[in-house]
Amino acid sequence: MMSDRDDRGDIDDLVVVRALLSASNPVADGPLSALEQRRGEHLLALLLADTSARSHRPGRRPGRGAALRRRGVLTAAATVLVIASALVGLTTVRTHDRATATPLLPEPLLTATTGDHDRAVAALSDAARRQRGSAQAGTGPVLYARSQTYGLDVAIADHKSTTTARTTITDLWRDHDGTVRTDRYIQQVDRAGGDIGGPTPADDDRFEGRSDRPPAPPEFDPALTPTDPAQLLARLKARATADGYPIDLTVAHDVLSALRSGLTSPAQNAALYDVLATIPGVFDMGPVRDHAGRPGHAVGLVVSDQSSLSLAIEYVIFSDTGAPLTIEQVAATPPPGLRLPPVPTVESYTEIITTRRVPTVGATT
């Protein structure tokens, strides 16, 4: 139950995140009162304004430290910096009977690697139909999206590694000219896995704060995704062929990346779902609730090949209106070298909290 106290010392991340997600939930189980809406926004504002409410590694000094060398990655999936949630419990990873970390290692929402293909195609087709009948929320020339991301980040040097779990709130504004402003707020950073003498992870401020980037090339801008499924599929296949990558895996990766961005319209989501339905390996997972407790329908597909160090499966959860809610990637077993428990591991997830059009960069309504 949400506390009525407003003192910053009484606010923990769990309450803040739950209030945030309930206040922005596009498929809420029941209508929110004006008081609940204001309370959720107030709690989030307090968290973002109070640096003492954010987690810091022991011994970390304020400011930017010296740049650290990073050599490669253990696996592409393990280095993705995308979603965790303060809505799940802490897991203590122990090495030699000593607690070395208490990271947020969320339980996977789903772990199946196969399922009914025809039902997945039907579910995606239905979601596409519903999205085509939907309108983009809000008005204005700027596209705004807020998401919560979790991911494992791996720092490697001298044949040793350090794995951290990072949770981030990200606000994106894409202006009419294609420029993008990003505001990131670190919620939690924890050592994940055994202490095996690896390098110190990069400072939090490398992933936090405000940044601006120029317009992306049109073919790589999620907000310019074609709304015609045939045109979109042809573009993605041509890109994969030109780069020499496996077509199905690359098409799936690009579709999921666009959905994860939060910068796609309902009509573009519809085309992305239709393309995803053409992937032979897509399978149905049925009704499920995401980490925020929002009800939805999930489909999955394998997103790794023989060259990967671990079998990775990605799941897409969408609401009854077809709106994308969560994209979660799970390793059937954690990649070797990370010293994580030998169980299915959430490598990353992104929860789309809200997407709407707003009048100016920096506005949220």
Could you read off the pLDDT of 143-188 as tens digits, one per residue?
999 999 998 887 777 767 778 888 899 999 999 999 999 999 988 8
pLDDT (average), residues 261-268: 96
Could you read off the pLDDT of 220-250 as tens digits, one per residue?
999 999 999 999 999 999 999 999 999 999 9
pLDDT band at 42 (very low <50, low <70, confident <90, very high): low
Lowest mean pLDDT among 78-82, 106-110, 249-253, 264-268: 78-82
pLDDT band at 49 (very low <50, low <70, confident <90, very high): very low
CA atoms within 13 A on the CB side of 35: 3
Residues 279 and 299 sit within 8 Å (Cβ to Cβ): no
Residues 305 and 292 sit within 8 Å (Cβ to Cβ): no
Q: Which helix (H) or strand (E) holds 147?
A: strand 142-157
- Cα(37)–Cα(31) distance, integer angstroms: 10
pLDDT band at 341 (very low <50, low <70, confident <90, very high): confident
Structure tokens, 130: 């519903």
How many other C-beta atoms lie within 10 A of the C-beta of residue 119?
A: 16
Lowest mean pLDDT among 16-30, 95-109, 257-271, 306-320: 16-30
pLDDT on residue 36 = 57
User: By percentage, how much of the chain surpasses pLDDT 70?
Assistant: 67
Could you read off the pLDDT of 121-143 as tens digits, one per residue?
999 999 999 999 999 999 999 99
Listed in sequence order, the residues at least 6 apart from 46 whose beta carbon sits closer than 8 Å to its beta carbon are 6, 8, 11, 16, 53
pLDDT on residue 195 = 53
Could you read off the pLDDT of 108-123 as tens digits, one per residue?
999 999 999 999 999 9
Give me the helices (H) in 25-152, please: 34-49, 117-132
Average pLDDT value over all residues in the chain: 76
pLDDT greater than 50 at residue 290: yes
Could you read off the pLDDT of 296-312 as tens digits, one per residue?
999 999 998 877 778 99
User: By percentage, how much of the chain surpasses pLDDT 90?
Assistant: 54
Which single residue is written with the structure tokens 């209106």?
Answer: 321
How many other C-beta atoms lie within 10 A of the C-beta of residue 121?
A: 20
Q: Whole-structure pTM over 0.75, yes or no?
A: no
Lowest mean pLDDT among 112-121, 190-199, 210-219, 279-288: 190-199
pLDDT greater than 80 at residue 65: no
List strands edge to edge, sheet with 345-358: 209-213, 180-191, 160-174, 142-157, 345-358, 324-331, 312-318, 295-302, 283-289
